[in-house]
Amino acid sequence: MSYSSYIVRRTLGLIPKLLIASVVVFMLVQITPGDPVTTLAPPRASPEQLAALRDKWRLNEPLYIQYLTWMANLLQGDLGLSAATRRPVTDMIALRVPISLRFSALALFISYAIAIPFGIIGAVKQHTSWDYLSMGFVLLAISFPSFWFAILLILVFAIQLGWTSAVGYGTVGLLVLPAVALGLRGSAIETRVMRSSMIETLNEKFITASRAHGLPERSVIFKHALRNALIPIITLFGLRLGYILASGLVIEIVFNRPGVGHLLVDSIFKRDYPVVRAILMILVTTIMLGNFLADLLYGLADPRIRYD
C-alpha cells in the first residue's frame, strides 16, 4: 500500500470517530445539571419570560433537532452565541487560543527535549550511575501532580527568588514556569518508553550486524538505532497532546492565565453551555487530530505499518 493510500484510509477512519465524539460532547453538556435559561433570563424573570427564552434559543425542540442544528452550524464554522455575553463563541475562543497554545507548545517541546536524551543515555549507559540518575529523575517527576509542581515553582522562582512573575502573559519569560510545570512531569513517561525502546532496538540483529561491519558506535546509535526506537515515542504523541491540553486547563488556573482552560471553567460556573460545548468539541477534535498525526508519522517511520 502506498503512503497516500494509507493517509486516505486513516482520514476516512477519522470521520466516524469525530461524529461519535460530537454526539458524546453534545449529550454530556445536555445532561449537565442546571438550567441554562437561568443565565439568559433577567433576575426574577416570570415563567412567560423563561418560556420565551427557551423558544428563542430553541431549547424546546427535540434533542436530535438541536444536535443536527448544532452540527450544521459547526460544520460552517459557527459555534453559536455565548449565553452569558451574547458574543460569538468563535471570537471568544479565538482570543484565548494563542495564550494556551504558546505555553502548551513550549511544554511539549520541553517534554521531548528531556525524554529523548535521557532515554538514550539510560539505554546506552544501562546499569550505570547515568542510568540510575535518569530513572531517578523519572520517579521524581512522575510522583508530583502538575498543579502541585506548578505551585512549588511559583513559591521558589516567583516569590523566593523573584526571577519571574507568577501572573500575566505575553512574554517568553512568563511562559517558562507553566511550560516547565506542564512538560516536566509528562517527560517521565516518555523517558521510560524511550529507554525501553532503545534497549530493545540495541539488541536487534541489524544493530549487531552494523557493529560487526565496523561502523562507529555514534553512527550505530544515532543513525540506525534511534529511528527505530522513536516509533513508540511517535505513538505516544497523540496521548501526550491530550495530556498537555487536559492538564493545561488546570495549569492555567494556577498561573491565572486567561487561556481556553480559564474560559472553560468560567463558562461552567456561569452555565454558559454553548461555550462549554464548543471548547470540549475543540479539545476532543484536537486530541483526535494529534492521534491522526501520530498515525501518519508512524507509517512514515515504519513502512510495515501501512500494510497492517
Assigned fold of 90-271 = MetI-like fold (1.10.3720)
Q: What is the value of pTM for the model shown? A: 0.77
pLDDT tens, position by position, 105-160? 888 888 888 888 888 888 888 888 887 887 787 777 777 777 778 888 888 887 88
pLDDT tens, position by position, 192-225? 888 888 888 888 888 888 888 888 888 888 877 8
pLDDT above 80: residue 282: yes
Domain spans of the chain? 90-271
Q: What is the percentage of the chain residues whose pLDDT exceeds 90?
A: 3
Please say whether the beta carbons of 251 and 203 come within 8 A: no
Please say whether the beta carbons of 134 and 127 come within 8 A: no
Which of 163-167, 170-174, 244-248 is the least confident region? 170-174
pLDDT band for position 40 (cuts 50, 70, 90): low
Q: What is the mean pLDDT of residues 51-57?
A: 72
C-alpha 130 chain-centroid distance: 31
Q: What is the pLDDT of residue 23?
A: 92
Rg over alpha carbons for the chain, rounded to the nearest Å, is: 24
Q: What is the pLDDT of residue 24?
A: 92
Q: What are phi and psi of 172, to 5 degrees?
A: -65, -40
Q: Which one has a higher pLDDT value, 277 or 287?
A: 277
Q: Which residues of 262-297 are buried (b: 16+ CB within 10 A; e: fewer)?
A: bbbeebbebbbbbbbbbbbbbbbbbbbebbbebbbb
pLDDT above 60: residue 170: no
